[in-house]
């Protein structure tokens, strides 16, 4: 019985038969089914067989029997699995190998048979062709019919196969939506199969599993069925079946798909080579490109590197996991070790990085052999891929995101020349505290990432500034910064570039790109050259009426300098007006104190209160100045066709109506609100202007309603809100009606049919005799617009003076332009300097003669734009030659302008202005004799061609009122153009300016003797907040350039002459800037201790002259006389400001119609600033008590008169 029991146990263990041993085996297997691995059962079965063979006694057999039960392969009663614990890995591997090599054999066999068939058919074809030739044509017809039928059948068959092949190719190539979905789905399912592998890797390498109960096996089966179908599509679409069979994706399918079907058949799972699914990750970048996620080359390259690295890493880890957990086959799988898949991943990483901690290592021979070869390729891949991946990630654009618009907050896009200097200047002005609450976010877009300094600047303004890296030429980058919802786009130019035309071309291309993306966007761009503005007009969506503006730096720079030739110091005053400056208070009684008080003033616009309705412009100006402490210099004027014009000091013939927009000079925007809030009923008795605030009376409500009318056609469509259209009842051209008819027409203003408009009601606009004579003549004296003096084109040879001719010529009261340039220099556009000096609101005899001193080669290139202007001469030479300067009587000139066209060709910024600085110092060091006697002696001297001697000797514009004691070059009025602001320290050797002082605080700039183009940067911000400011500045400095004139110049690049008509002559009726001397004339009584307010009111009431500043001697505040003749600018002084006799007053003077014939006008007392700037010390030696004794009013009487001036 014992032997039988033992035999039964032995037979059951070996053969799985019945008996007591069999039941004990089933019980044992049920107990250990979920706890033992296949590797343990395999090794235990071998040990159990050895123990059973060596057991000769029952005691020995009974000792090993429990151990034998514990080492059996896990098996369940429901699964007919191999109870002997035999491994079946070879069946899974064989299925893959048979599939791979079987298919490869079939393909090669097919190719061989096809090749043999082709060779045989080729030989047979030659035999049949020979038979056809021998048998004749009649027999050939009968024999070829079946051949042709066979060829047609083959062609039909080929056509069907081709169609199927093309269809399969389209399905897998992602050319259609279905194909893209299929490709993405295959990739997603491959990743899903890999995830299932990760889950199953925690189980034994080989185990018995029931397909109907194992959920992961069912999902994996479904995935592999889909992979099999996709493999069939790929096989059909492949052109070369052999290469397709050897592809990586095909190999992956061979070693992953067949084992799944074997698993279902054997009810057994082998982890095997399923890790090869990780190789599908290599296609990750292709999938992302199909989905339009990857667009840049760097991102595609980065994803490619990452996918290759990770897929290789995971695949190698899977192989190590397989061999280490299985063991070596020749060792009967006994040298295995239990490693999880993620431990293998860790092992491969430390191996690739050559670290090798030794905590995890390969024990099997297969594992170690694989590591030997893998470390060679893995180390190379790790050393090359990882640094490149880190570099790509590190080089990833830090500012490559997209702007997120904030609800209720506007944003602007700033692009172009983005540097620390340009951005800091822009932000300092744009975000100035004197502006109203700036609820605008600034988005900078540039294709170069900012440096550390610029990045720090952005961080300091992070609440209102964002930076994005990109180009406006790329529509994708424009979409990133939300250009379609931006309030405006500002383009900054590089003012210091060597090739200004190329810089303008770049900015024009930026405008084209932005307008092409969003035609309605408002663009404000800087331009360097005036002639390049014409290209903007070629852009179809460019519309200056809708807010598009081009700020031409050359035009404005030379325009400012030209105005300084007419009124020295005006360039400084205007530059300070449109720049936002904080008030700097100085207690000491120095010239800086008064200068800085004026610097804090800026230009603002505001709608006028209804309390001003019906009053003339001078009356409103006086009321604003005396009562509201505001200086109004202009109003917006809109014609009947709704085109707006800005009228500067239009005179007493203009009445203010509802909704008139005024231009004010004030220290901040809050002060200007007084002009809108002012109410006669509520504020008439208020003496403190700060108490003038919004009141609730009915008049103000009506004014507010009139400001925002209901008629949509009453609004101007701009980004700055609505503006009331104000049209004049009369034509904007001067009327020739009698005063009675004009009065009748004026009486129609109150009729219901006439809307409230700006009106002209004064008969002073009747053309004078001089205008009538001009109309009757057939000589073209003005250009076709009537804005500038014009003459027939002259050859340059006719205006060239030799040094001897210039020395014999009577030159005085002229303008000397010293220009540095050569044949290779960039043109600076001298036309913009000459045009303001040839404005038609000057009479011909008032025009200052212009003499250019410079290289004739350079001036020949500029002459094409200058040959239509009268009174222009050229002296070939160099501004550094004192002989040339003496030949043009530089000591008798009204202004000497020093320009250079070579400044931007030098890399060292400190040397960019060397020529201008040397020329300025050269002139200041010159010494002269008394020139009046020489001038009188040569009054009948030689007059060369092009020189006009028709002006009278007593003309004030020719400097005949100047003192005769100009003996040193220091007293010569000079304005020097600078590129680098810091070079201003070299112009005045006697000043104490710190090199780090801002330009506007330096003495040369305050005195109007230096001008830098950098001050024009503030115009970008000023134009954005109020586009009328740019129009006003251009009207003041260009002499009357209009968009229509720009279009004409863009068409012909030259001014066109025109016959005088009432319409063109009416354009002469515009005010101009002048300087009023207080030494003599009708205002001499106010010059010694009088109040500026009294002068302001007297000039406005009597002569319609609007005063807005003082040009004062630098040491006028000193009690002792000074030899210094330098002057500085005081902008908009207060009413109580005390005047001194040597002051020159900046004023806006009306056009004098009768000055052309009768020269006994006020203009004789309003001479140029240069005549007083050249005063000798005797000016200061005039007893100051002489005029004080003749003053008609005391300070008390002036205060009383000031109160009476207030509008009742």
State how far the Cα of 1140 lies from the Cα of 1117, in Å rounded to an integer: 9
Which one has a higher pLDDT value, 153 or 1036?
1036
Which one has a higher pLDDT value, 584 or 621?
621
**Mean pLDDT value across residues 503-522:** 95
Nearest by Cα to 412 from 343, 316, 488: 488
- For residue 203 the two structure tokens come to 């189980």
414 and 443 in contact (C-beta within 8 Å)? Answer: yes
Nearest by Cα to 1078 from 1119, 1037, 1137, 1156: 1137
Which one has a higher pLDDT value, 902 or 500?
500
- pLDDT for 1014-1036, tens place per residue? 888 889 998 998 888 888 888 88
Residue 13 predicted with pLDDT over 70: no
Confidence of residue 718 (pLDDT cuts 50, 70, 90): very low
Confidence of residue 1089 (pLDDT cuts 50, 70, 90): confident
Residues in the chain, total: 1208
DSSP 813: S
- pLDDT for 597-614, tens place per residue? 899 898 889 999 888 888
- For residue 1008 the two structure tokens come to 């109007």
291 and 183 in contact (C-beta within 8 Å)? Answer: no
Which one has a higher pLDDT value, 22 or 263?
263
**Range in 255-269, 870-884, 1148-1162 with the lowest mean pLDDT:** 1148-1162
Mean pLDDT computed over every residue of the chain: 76
975 and 817 in contact (C-beta within 8 Å)? Answer: no
DSSP 1143: -
Task: Give residue 77's pLDDT.
Answer: 35
Q: DSSP labels for 40-82?
A: HHHHHHHHHHHHHHH--SHHHHHHHHHHHHHTSPP--SSS---
| Cα→Cα distances 1089→1134, 1186, 1196, Å | 14, 11, 13
85 and 73 in contact (C-beta within 8 Å)? Answer: yes
Task: Give residue 125's pLDDT.
Answer: 60
Residue 278 predicted with pLDDT over 60: yes
Query: What is the CATH code for 410-542?
Result: 3.40.50.720
Burial pattern 549-565, b for ≥16 Cβ within 10 A else e, equals: bbbbbbbbbbbbbbbbb
Within 8 A by CB and 6+ apart from 804, the residues are 887
Task: Give residue 709's pLDDT.
Answer: 37
Residue 1111 predicted with pLDDT over 90: yes
- For residue 443 the two structure tokens come to 């988005």
Residue 1116 exposure: Cα atoms within 13 Å on the Cβ side:
30
Task: Give residue 743's pLDDT.
Answer: 31
Task: Give residue 1088's pLDDT.
Answer: 82
Q: DSSP labels for 103-119?
A: HHHHHHHHHHHHHHHHH
Residue 1152 predicted with pLDDT over 50: yes
- Max distance between CA atoms of the chain, in angstroms, equals 162
DSSP 1163: G
- For residue 453 the two structure tokens come to 């300094």
Task: Give residue 963's pLDDT.
Answer: 44
Q: 0.85 cut: is pTM over it? A: no
Burial pattern 737-774, b for ≥16 Cβ within 10 A else e, equals: eeeeebeebbeebeeeeeebbbbbbbbebbbbebbeeb
**Three-class secondary structure of residue 964 per DSSP:** coil
CATH architecture of 296-396: Orthogonal Bundle (1.10)
Residue 964 predicted with pLDDT over 50: no
Which one has a higher pLDDT value, 434 or 1009?
1009
- pLDDT for 361-415, tens place per residue? 888 888 889 888 888 888 888 888 888 888 888 777 788 888 998 888 899 999 9
Residue 152 predicted with pLDDT over 90: no
Percent of the chain at pLDDT exceeding 70: 73
Task: Give residue 588's pLDDT.
Answer: 78
**Mean pLDDT value across residues 728-739:** 34
Task: Give residue 1118's pLDDT.
Answer: 74
**Mean pLDDT value across residues 679-688:** 74
Confidence of residue 992 (pLDDT cuts 50, 70, 90): low
For the chain, what percentages of helix, strand and coil (3-state, to nearest 5) are there?
50, 10, 40
Task: Give residue 494's pLDDT.
Answer: 92
| Cα→Cα distances 551→643, 1016, 1034, Å | 21, 9, 9
Which one has a higher pLDDT value, 737 or 591?
591
Nearest by Cα to 1146 from 1094, 1191, 1092, 1199: 1092
**Mean pLDDT value across residues 1145-1158:** 77
| Cα→Cα distances 555→526, 535, 642, 853, Å | 11, 16, 27, 21
Residues facing residue 819 across a β-bridge: 854, 899
Task: Give residue 722's pLDDT.
Answer: 34
Task: Give residue 905's pLDDT.
Answer: 65
Task: Give residue 124's pLDDT.
Answer: 63
Which one has a higher pLDDT value, 319 or 16?
319
Task: Give residue 123's pLDDT.
Answer: 66
State how far the Cα of 652 lies from the Cα of 1101, in Å rounded to an integer: 9
**Mean pLDDT value across residues 1080-1090:** 85
Residue 1 predicted with pLDDT over 50: no
Confidence of residue 1124 (pLDDT cuts 50, 70, 90): confident
1007 and 1114 in contact (C-beta within 8 Å)? Answer: yes
State how far the Cα of 253 lies from the Cα of 236, in Å rounded to an integer: 15
Residue identified by tokens 């300067």 is 885
Nearest by Cα to 89 from 282, 283, 325: 325
Task: Give residue 520's pLDDT.
Answer: 92
Most confident residue range from 77-86, 283-292, 939-948: 283-292
State how far the Cα of 371 lies from the Cα of 377, in Å rounded to an integer: 10
Task: Give residue 454's pLDDT.
Answer: 93
Phi then psi for residue 944, to 5 deg, are -75, 170
Within 8 A by CB and 6+ apart from 145, the residues are none
- For residue 853 the two structure tokens come to 């001193």
- pLDDT for 62-109, tens place per residue? 333 333 333 334 433 333 455 555 677 788 888 888 888 988 899 899
Within 8 A by CB and 6+ apart from 163, the residues are none
Task: Give residue 63's pLDDT.
Answer: 36
The residue extents of the domains of the chain are 2-83, 87-128+170-294, 296-396, 410-542, 791-1015
Task: Give residue 667's pLDDT.
Answer: 87
């Amino acid at each position: 019985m014992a032997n039988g029991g033992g035999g039964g146990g032995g037979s059951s263990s070996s053969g799985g038969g019945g008996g007591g041993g069999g039941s004990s085996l089933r019980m044992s297997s049920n107990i250990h089914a979920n706890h033992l691995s296949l590797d343990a059962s395999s090794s235990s079965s071998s040990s159990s067989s050895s123990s059973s063979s060596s057991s000769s006694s029952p005691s020995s057999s009974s000792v090993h029997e429990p151990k034998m039960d514990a080492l059996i392969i896990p098996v369940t009663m429901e699964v007919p699995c191999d109870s002997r614990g035999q491994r079946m890995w070879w069946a899974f591997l064989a299925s893959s190998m048979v599939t791979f090599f079987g298919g490869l054999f079939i393909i090669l066999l097919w190719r061989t048979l096809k090749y043999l068939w082709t060779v045989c058919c080729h030989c047979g074809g030659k035999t049949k062709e020979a038979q056809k030739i021998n048998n004749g044509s009649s027999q050939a017809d009968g024999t070829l019919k079946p051949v042709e039928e066979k060829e047609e059948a083959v062609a039909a068959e080929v056509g069907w196969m081709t169609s199927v092949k093309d269809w399969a190719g389209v399905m897998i190539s992602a050319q259609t939506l279905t194909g893209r979905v299929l490709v993405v789905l295959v990739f997603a399912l491959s990743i899903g199969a890999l995830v299932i592998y990760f889950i199953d890797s925690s189980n034994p390498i080989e185990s018995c599993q029931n397909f109907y109960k194992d959920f992961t096996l069912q999902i994996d089966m479904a995935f592999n069925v889909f992979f099999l179908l996709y493999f069939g599509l790929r096989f059909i679409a492949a052109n070369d079946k052999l290469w397709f069979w050897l592809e990586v994706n095909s190999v992956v399918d061979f070693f992953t798909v067949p084992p799944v079907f074997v698993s279902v058949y054997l009810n057994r799972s082998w982890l095997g080579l399923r890790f090869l699914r990780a190789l599908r990750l290599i296609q990750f970048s292709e999938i992302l490109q199909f989905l339009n996620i990857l667009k840049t080359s760097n991102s595609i390259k980065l994803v490619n590197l990452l996918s290759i690295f990770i897929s290789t890493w995971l695949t190698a880890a899977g192989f190590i996991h397989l061999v280490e957990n299985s063991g070596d086959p020749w060792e009967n799988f006994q040298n295995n070790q239990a490693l999880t898949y993620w431990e293998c991943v860790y092992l491969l990483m430390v191996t690739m990085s050559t670290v090798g901690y030794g905590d995890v290592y390969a024990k099997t021979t297969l594992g170690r052999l694989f590591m030997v070869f893998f470390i060679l390729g893995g180390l190379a891949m790790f050393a090359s891929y990882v640094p490149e991946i880190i570099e790509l990630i590190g080089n990833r654009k830090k500012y490559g995101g997209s702007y997120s618009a904030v609800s209720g907050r506007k944003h602007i896009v700033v692009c172009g020349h983005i540097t620390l200097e340009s951005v800091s200047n822009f932000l300092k002005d744009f975000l100035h505290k004197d502006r109203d609450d700036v609820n605008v976010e600034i988005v900078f877009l540039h294709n170069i990432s900012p440096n550390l300094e610029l990045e720090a600047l952005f961080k300091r303004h992070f609440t209102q500034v964002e930076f994005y890296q990109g180009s406006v030429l790329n529509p994708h980058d424009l979409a990133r910064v939300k250009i379609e919802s931006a309030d405006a786009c500002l383009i900054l130019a590089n003012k210091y570039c060597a090739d200004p035309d190329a810089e303008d071309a770049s900015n024009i291309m930026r405008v084209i790109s932005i307008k092409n993306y969003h035609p309605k966007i408002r663009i404000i761009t800087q331009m360097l050259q005036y002639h390049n503005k014409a290209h903007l007009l070629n852009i179809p969506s460019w519309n200056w009426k809708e807010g598009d503006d081009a700020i031409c730096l050359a035009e404005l720079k030379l325009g400012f300098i030209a105005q300084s030739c007419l009124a020295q110091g005006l360039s400084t005053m205007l530059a300070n007006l449109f720049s936002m400056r904080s008030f700097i208070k100085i207690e000491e009684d120095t010239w800086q104190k008064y200068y800085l008080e004026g610097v804090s003033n800026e230009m603002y616009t505001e709608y006028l209160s209804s309390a001003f309705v019906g009053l003339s412009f001078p009356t409103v100006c006086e009321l604003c100045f005396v009562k509201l402490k505001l200086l109004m210099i202009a109003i917006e004027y809109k014609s009947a066709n709704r085109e707006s014009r800005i009228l500067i000091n239009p005179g007493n013939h203009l009445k203010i109506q509802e909704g008139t927009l005024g231009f004010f000079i004030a220290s901040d925007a809050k002060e200007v609100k007084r002009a809108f809030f002012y109410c006669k009923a509520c504020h008439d008795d208020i003496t403190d202007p700060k108490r003038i605030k919004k009141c609730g009376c009915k008049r103000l409500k009506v004014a507010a309603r009139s400001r925002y009318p209901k008629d949509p056609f009453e609004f101007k469509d701009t980004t700055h809100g609505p503006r009331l259209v104000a049209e004049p009842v009369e034509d904007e051209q001067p009327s020739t009606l009698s005063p009675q008819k004009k009065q009748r027409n004026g009486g129609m203003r109150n009729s219901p049919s006439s809307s409230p408009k700006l009106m002209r009601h004064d008969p002073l606009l009747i053309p004078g005799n001089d205008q009538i004579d001009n109309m009757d003549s057939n000589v073209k004296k003005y250009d076709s617009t009537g804005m500038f003096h014009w003459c027939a084109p002259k050859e340059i040879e006719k205006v060239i003076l030799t040094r001897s001719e210039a020395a014999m010529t009577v030159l005085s009261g002229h303008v000397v332009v010293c220009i540095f340039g050569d044949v290779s220099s960039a043109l600076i556009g001298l036309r913009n300097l000459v045009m303001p000096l040839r404005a038609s609101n000057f009479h011909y005899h008032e025009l200052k003669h212009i003499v250019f001193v410079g290289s004739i080669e350079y001036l020949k290139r500029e002459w094409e734009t200058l040959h239509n202007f009268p009174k222009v001469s050229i002296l070939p030479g160099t501004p550094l030659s004192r002989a040339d300067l003496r030949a043009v009587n530089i000591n008798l000139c009204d202004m000497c302008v020093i320009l250079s066209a070579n400044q931007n060709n030098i890399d060292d910024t400190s040397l960019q202005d060397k020529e201008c600085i040397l020329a300025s110092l050269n002139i200041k060091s010159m010494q002269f004799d008394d020139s009046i006697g020489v001038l009188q002696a040569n009054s009948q001297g030689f007059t060369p061609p092009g020189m006009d001697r028709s002006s009278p000797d007593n003309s004030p514009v020719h400097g005949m009122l100047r003192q005769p004691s100009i003996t040193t070059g220091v007293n010569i009025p000079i304005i020097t153009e600078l590129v680098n602001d810091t070079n201003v320290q070299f112009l005045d050797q006697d000043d104490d300016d710190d090199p780090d002082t801002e330009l506007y605080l330096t003495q040369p700039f305050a005195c109007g003797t230096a001008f830098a183009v950098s001050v024009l940067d503030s115009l970008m911000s000023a134009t954005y907040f109020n586009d009328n400011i740019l129009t006003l500045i251009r009207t003041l400095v260009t002499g009357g350039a209009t968009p229509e004139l720009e279009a004409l110049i863009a068409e012909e690049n030259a001014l066109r002459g025109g016959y005088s008509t009432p319409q063109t002559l009416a354009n002469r009726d515009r005010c101009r800037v002048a300087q009023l001397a207080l030494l003599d004339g009708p205002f001499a009584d106010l010059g010694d201790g009088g109040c500026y307010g009294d002068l302001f009111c007297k000039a406005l009431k009597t002569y319609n002259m609007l005063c807005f500043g003082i040009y004062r001697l630098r040491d006028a505040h000193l009690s002792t006389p000074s030899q210094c003749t330098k002057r500085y600018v005081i902008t908009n002084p207060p009413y109580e400001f005390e005047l001194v006799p040597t002051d020159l007053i900046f004023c806006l003077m009306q056009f004098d119609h009768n000055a052309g014939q009768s020269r006994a006008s006020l203009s004789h007392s309003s001479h140029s600033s240069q005549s007083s700037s050249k005063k000798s010390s005797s000016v200061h030696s005039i007893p100051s008590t002489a005029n004080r004794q003749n003053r008609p009013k005391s300070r008390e009487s002036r205060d009383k008169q000031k109160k009476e001036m207030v509008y009742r």
